[in-house]
Amino acid sequence: MTPVLATAEIIAVGSELLGWTRVDTNSLFIAERLASLGIQLRGKSVVGDDAARMRMFFDAAFSRSDLVVLTGGLGPTADDLTREVVAEALGLPLIEDETITAGIRERFARRAMRMPELNRRQAMVPRTATVLPNPHGTAPGLFISDPAATGKCVVLLPGPPRELQPMFDALCQGGALDERAGAERLHTVSIFTTQRSESHVDEAAQPVYRPWLVEQPPIETTILATPGQIELHLTMRSADAAAASRRLDSARAQLIAALGDAVFSTDGRSLPAVVGDLLRQRSLTVASAESCTGGLFLERLTDLPGSSDFVAGGVVAYSNALKTDLLGVRAELIAAHGAVSEPVAAAMADGIRARTQAQVNVAITGIAGPGGGTGAKPVGTVVIAVLLEGHPLAIRTYLFPGGRQQVRLQASQTALDVIRRLLR
């Protein structure tokens, strides 16, 4: 019986990935797929287009792990060396695969071009390797079992994500990696929360998830803080997919009960997407009067395809004059309370409602910094008002931590969350 693939490493090949402008993101995609197969990623590396260095990195990775996945370096030019380096390391001769050559030639012909002789290199296949077809480019991928019969494997993938991803998916779903991975797979569910700090979420969640760690098999919980949201990821290794799904569903339900209405999504949707869906379901439209967020609130909603179904529009009233001219906020009100105040926010919400006839009207006014803060109203002070037809005005003054971008992001995130809570 072939031994099971338990551990893996990824090597991204390409000198451009050693500069200071580009990160390798293919490895995130590959890491997720490997995890779902129950294969542990033990390390990942980036190496330049240099045969001697690549060989050192490959040999080290192949000695440490059962599976090595290499990305990039499969192009037709002289600095594309992945095929040659791996074939030599494994002691396999490279043989031209005429079917591949014909396929590449046809690809060029379809665009009325002759295949450059260089592209022949992409048809070179290490003996015994399985060719992975590439419908989106000229470089096929390769799957190789260690000729030394150790049970170890090597996968070579092209660098462009739209070529790599379908190819790797095929390997993981019914393909060679699916067959070689163990019966135990990793199952995952997620919970997204907002308006609570990481430590608050953890405090509420720990009593729930801690006992799961000592169950058999255990459920592991990891907390991930991203700007404006805290995510809980629950994972469990099991050979029984249906049983795992039942246990994870029940675990998720317990966490949702503990976290209450801080939970906005259990299916990976972002907060704007959740709010957009709520608005669409209820046939409501939203309008906004923004000051310190400068259009960010509406920009995040209109980033969603089909947002014209539920976005009416809005006003960015950055100056006090525009708060008066465009939103009808009385100048005396601003003079008496300041532009960042609950009376002004309420008047902004009412002003945008009167002008747009939207059912949900949002006003955001605050001090994003770095300048403009005072003792009474420091940088981070933001007033958010939400006026939902048939409801009393929801209004509150917040103090958000962080710099200009964080304050603006949290202000827009909070406004979205107030709408979500009102519409639930």
* Near a second copy in 348-367, by CB under 8 A: 355-356
- Which of residues 211, 370, 378, 401 is near a second copy by CB under 8 A? 370
Task: Between 57 and 212, name the residue whose CB sits nearer to a second copy.
Answer: 57
- CA dist 415 and 419 (Å) reads 6
Residues 319-338 that bind a second copy (CB under 8 A): 319, 321-322, 325-326
Collapse the DSSP code of 5 into the 3-class scheme (helix H, G, I; strand E, B; otherwise coil) and give the result: strand
By CB under 8 A, tell whether 28 contacts a second copy. Answer: yes
User: Token pair of 67, please?
Assistant: 């599976």
| Residue with token string 């990824």 | 10
- Nearest alpha carbon to residue 122 among 185, 169, 73: 73
By CB under 8 A, tell whether 227 contacts a second copy. Answer: no
Q: Side chain identity at 91, as an amino acid letter? A: G
By CB under 8 A, tell whether 283 contacts a second copy. Answer: no
Q: Which residues lie across from 8 on neighbouring strands?
A: 41, 67
By CB under 8 A, tell whether 42 contacts a second copy. Answer: yes
Task: Between 25 and 254, name the residue whose CB sits nearer to a second copy.
Answer: 25
Q: How far is the CB of 235 from a second copy (least distance, A)?
A: 10
Q: How far is the CB of 102 from a second copy (least distance, A)?
A: 28
Half-sphere exposure of 275 (CA within 13 A, CB side): 27
Stretch that binds a second copy, among 17-25, 76-84, 124-132, 165-173 (CB under 8 A): 17-25
Q: Is 295 exposed, middle or buried (0-12, 13-18, 19+ CB in 10 A)?
A: middle
Residues 287-316 that bind a second copy (CB under 8 A): 288, 290, 292-299, 301-303, 305-308, 311-316
Q: How far is the CB of 315 from a second copy (least distance, A)?
A: 5
Stretch that binds a second copy, among 162-170, 174-182, 284-292, 386-394 (CB under 8 A): 284-292
DSSP 307: G
**Total count of residues recorded for the chain:** 424
Stretch that binds a second copy, among 53-61, 165-173, 208-216, 388-396 (CB under 8 A): 53-61
Total number of residues that touch a second copy (CB under 8 A): 72
Task: Between 141 and 369, name the residue whose CB sits nearer to a second copy.
Answer: 369
Task: Between 53 and 120, name the residue whose CB sits nearer to a second copy.
Answer: 53
- Which of residues 43, 93, 378, 401 is near a second copy by CB under 8 A? 43
Task: Between 243 and 354, name the residue whose CB sits nearer to a second copy.
Answer: 354
Q: How far is the CB of 50 from a second copy (least distance, A)?
A: 8
Half-sphere exposure of 336 (CA within 13 A, CB side): 8
- CA dist 183 and 285 (Å) reads 49
363 with 349: CB under 8 angstroms?
yes
Residues 54-73 that bind a second copy (CB under 8 A): 56-57, 60, 64
- CA dist 265 and 206 (Å) reads 19
By CB under 8 A, tell whether 77 contacts a second copy. Answer: no
Judge if the upstream peptide bond of residue 211 is cis by omega within 30 degrees of 0: no
Q: Is 234 left (phi over 0), alpha (psi -120 to 50) or beta?
A: beta
The widest CA-to-CA distance across the chain, in whole angstroms, is 84
Stretch that binds a second copy, among 40-48, 92-100, 161-169, 416-424 (CB under 8 A): 40-48
By CB under 8 A, tell whether 345 contacts a second copy. Answer: no
By CB under 8 A, tell whether 51 contacts a second copy. Answer: no
User: What crossing angle do the helices spanning 271-281 and 404-423 adopt, rounded to 10°?
Assistant: 30
CA 100: distance to chain centroid? 34
